[in-house]
Amino acid sequence: MIPKNLLVEIFVEELPPKALKKLGDAFAAVLRDQLAAQGLVSHQVPAATPADADARLTAYATPRRLAAHLTHVAERAADKAVAHKLMPVSVGLDASGQPTPALLKKLAALGVDTSAEAAADVVATLRRAPEGKTEALFLERTASGATLAEGLHKALHEAIAKLPIPKVMTYQLEQGTPLPGWDSVQFVRPAHGLVALHGDAVVPVTALGLTAGRTTHGHRFEAAADPIALRDADSYAAQLWQEGAVIASFEQRRAAIADQLKTVAAQAGQGLHASDDDALLDEVTALVERPNVLICRFEKEFLQVPQECLILTMKANQKYFPLLDAAGKLTNQFLVVSNISPDDPCAVIGGNERVVRPRLADAKFFFDQDRKKTLASRVPDLAKVVYHNKLGTQGERIERVRAIARAIGEQLGGATLAKAADQAAMLAKADLLTDMVGEFPELQGVMGSYYARHDGCPQDIAHAIEDHYKPRFAGDALPRGEVGVCVALADKLETLVGMFGIGNLPTGEKDPFALRRHALGVIRMWVEKQLPLDLPALLQVAAQSFGTLLADAAASNAQLLAFIDERALGYLQGRGYSAQEAEAVLAARPPWRDLPKALDALRAFAALPEAGALAAANKRIGNILKKAEASNIPPDPALLREPAEKDLHATMQRVLPQADAQFTAGDYAASLQTLAGLRAPVDAFFDGVMVNAEDQALRVNRLALLAQLHQAMNRVADLARLA
């Protein structure tokens, strides 16, 4: 029997928009996988169909439906041979080869005729096969394949059970008993219709208290027919559009909205474009079935409010797309994605303009009110805001950040930078107490920057207040200036040292204080801003700012340093270096700003023909020194006996000063290349010299020679990790 295409749809009340695409994809994928597991999805292309007509899945999702279209679904799965393991031969057959009562009971349980007349024939058909150290009996028979009705019933219930539902609703069935708790159903939203078509035939399945049919519903207001009687599985999308005014595909609906936004923005004015926001586009796609983009306007006086406030309120509260000019500046126009297409859209446009006006008026009111107080005047009130029950208030936290920022500023630019960093750190959190940030927490830092400029603060201070949260996510921009770097670094180090100090560590699932993100931000600033700072020393400065709040700052800082190293390993791998290269360089602990340069030098060294032998020798030297007592005394030339050790010492005297000078100058690649010249004397040393000589003086001297060599070879990276 030739397979046909299958269409399954659940028609529901409005689904949660932020979860719609995930729900649609999950529903279709589980349905397909379950049908395939039962052998109902054909992977054999029928001879009469094109070669590309193998089974394909299409997921559909609109605000009021989840659906899946699957090609080449069989009406019945093929029969298959099944082997049932019964029991060991020694248990199932007696000495004369006759079935034991245990075997007969097992066969009867499987539905086999075990009467006296049939028993002998049944035993003769049993297969013997090795099973471990024994031999077992197997019953082989053919199992009938599942029908589509059986298989789809199981697959549909599995797909419903595995939906990533944000929050389950419990509701009463329309045709159920009026008694509370009877005939109740749990689903993401109340379901009102079920469609299951195999070709043009209805598959008799039930789910969520519904029986499958062929009728569905289109647009609430613009459908040409209601209900819609689907002709067959393949006409689903076309009929929904033609008769129901619904674009069933999430991707097609999204693409249609994106095209309309671009077209209508161009009509609104030259160079205008809608604000880019993929998350908003996904959410709006999940809110409409037949998108219609319209231009709306608001009064120009609202443009006096920072555009970040206006854009946020339009996007977050109204799901509008603000229109920006070519320079990225907000205009007084915005785009609305309507779900209806009236001949005269004036009423829709006017309604949306009336709705947005109070939102913008609120933003303007907050902005005007906030500017009546300076940021500096708000700082004392931070002492009333609890930061963490073990780490005090935001006011106390600000004092710690100021101390760390001053220390960083002193190291990077002296007293002037330290003073500016201190001022920016003092004001950085003051906007948390403003009305605007209270209404829109996403604007913290941004509003502080506006208010600082209004108060007459220099631009570098205002930028630092905004930028001290950066980088906020992977790929985000770094702080713009030195003052911003000082405060951003201080803010993140204070959080990291404090949280590790009280044992509030991230787990595999939870990281409520975003410590991983903070660590990555520290790494990015250090490396990409080329900061000449010492991380362990700064962690100590940060710990000192907490006074006696941290029980064992030294131990928690050591734990934090290892945590940052782990994040650095991932960061460097993200920049294209291998884990082996990153681990080798991090083990040597060069200045963090030089990590990329050290990695490039190591990669160049690894390409040299001498690299493998020197890496192996370095590993051997490390193992020898681990087992011996370390000594910082340089080797005594007078105690060198063998020609090979004399030659190695002489070569080191010539090569190491040059390599050290190159390392000090920051030319890591040249330093490693110079060290490559040690390969021959190192090989000769291990071939001709017994390190652990019986003479203690000789042994200690040779170990000192190796220690000096080991230290010189591992300044850029732990070369043993290349072995």
Mean pLDDT of 697-723: 87
Question: Nearest Cα to 334, choosing from 315, 361, 351?
Answer: 315
User: Residues 6-35: pLDDT tens digits?
Assistant: 999 999 999 999 999 999 999 999 999 999
Half-sphere exposure of 230 (CA within 13 A, CB side): 29
Question: Nearest Cα to 272, choosing from 222, 230, 334?
Answer: 334
User: Residues 657-703: pLDDT tens digits?
Assistant: 999 999 999 899 999 999 888 999 988 988 888 888 888 888 888 88
d(CA 524, CA 595): 11
DSSP 342: -
The model's confidence at residue 129, banded by pLDDT at 50, 70 and 90, is confident
3-state secondary structure of 307: helix
User: Where is pLDDT greater, at 96 or 438?
Assistant: 438
Q: What is the pTM of this model?
A: 0.79
Half-sphere exposure of 392 (CA within 13 A, CB side): 18
User: Residues 274-308: pLDDT tens digits?
Assistant: 988 999 999 999 999 999 999 999 999 999 999 99
Question: Nearest Cα to 496, choosing from 513, 481, 478, 479?
Answer: 513
Residue 47 has pLDDT above 50, yes or no: no
**What DSSP element (H or E) covers 501?**
helix 482-501
Contact (CB, 8 A) for 494 and 404: yes
What one-letter code names the amino acid at 711? Q
3-state secondary structure of 524: helix
Question: How many CB atoms are located within 10 Å of the residue 708 CB?
Answer: 18
Residue 181 has pLDDT above 70, yes or no: no
The model's confidence at residue 631, banded by pLDDT at 50, 70 and 90, is low
pLDDT score recorded for residue 55: 73
Question: Nearest Cα to 539, choosing from 516, 567, 559?
Answer: 559
User: Where is pLDDT greater, at 324 or 106?
Assistant: 324
Residue 179 has pLDDT above 60, yes or no: no
Return all residues near 616 (Cβ < 8 A) that are at least 6 apart. 723
d(CA 322, CA 333): 7
- Residue identified by tokens 């020609």 is 643
The model's confidence at residue 52, banded by pLDDT at 50, 70 and 90, is very low
What one-letter code names the amino acid at 616? A
User: Where is pLDDT greater, at 590 or 47?
Assistant: 590
The model's confidence at residue 251, banded by pLDDT at 50, 70 and 90, is very high
The model's confidence at residue 178, banded by pLDDT at 50, 70 and 90, is low
Question: How many CB atoms are located within 10 Å of the residue 667 CB?
Answer: 16
Residue 51 has pLDDT above 50, yes or no: no
d(CA 540, CA 555): 11
Question: Nearest Cα to 26, choosing from 140, 155, 160?
Answer: 160
Residue 88 has pLDDT above 60, yes or no: yes
Q: Which residues of 40-49 are buried (b: 16+ CB within 10 A; e: fewer)?
A: bbbeeeeeee
pLDDT score recorded for residue 124: 78
Question: How many CB atoms are located within 10 Å of the residue 311 CB?
Answer: 18
Contact (CB, 8 A) for 445 and 430: no
Residue 706 buriedness (CB in 10 A; 0-12 / 13-18 / 19+): buried
| Structure-block tokens of residue 631 | 């000594």
Question: How many CB atoms are located within 10 Å of the residue 323 CB?
Answer: 23
d(CA 405, CA 149): 69
Output 108-113 pairs: Cβ under 8 A, ≥24 positions apart: 110/84, 110/139, 112/139
Output 214-219 pairs: Cβ under 8 A, ≥24 positions apart: 216/9, 216/11, 216/65, 216/240, 216/244, 217/11, 217/64, 217/193, 217/244, 218/243, 218/244, 218/245, 218/246, 218/289, 219/244, 219/245, 219/246, 219/289, 219/290, 219/339
The model's confidence at residue 138, banded by pLDDT at 50, 70 and 90, is confident
Q: What is the mean pLDDT of the chain?
A: 90
pLDDT score recorded for residue 53: 47
User: Residues 521-544: pLDDT tens digits?
Assistant: 999 999 999 999 989 999 999 999
**What DSSP element (H or E) covers 80?**
strand 80-88
Residue 173 has pLDDT above 80, yes or no: no
d(CA 667, CA 659): 9
pLDDT score recorded for residue 630: 58
User: What proportions of the chain, in percent to the nearest 5, are helix, strand and coil?
Assistant: 55, 15, 30
DSSP 131: E
Residue 43 has pLDDT above 80, yes or no: no
Residue 544 buriedness (CB in 10 A; 0-12 / 13-18 / 19+): middle
- Runs of H (alpha helix) within 208-345: 236-244, 250-268, 278-285, 307-318
Residue 721 buriedness (CB in 10 A; 0-12 / 13-18 / 19+): buried
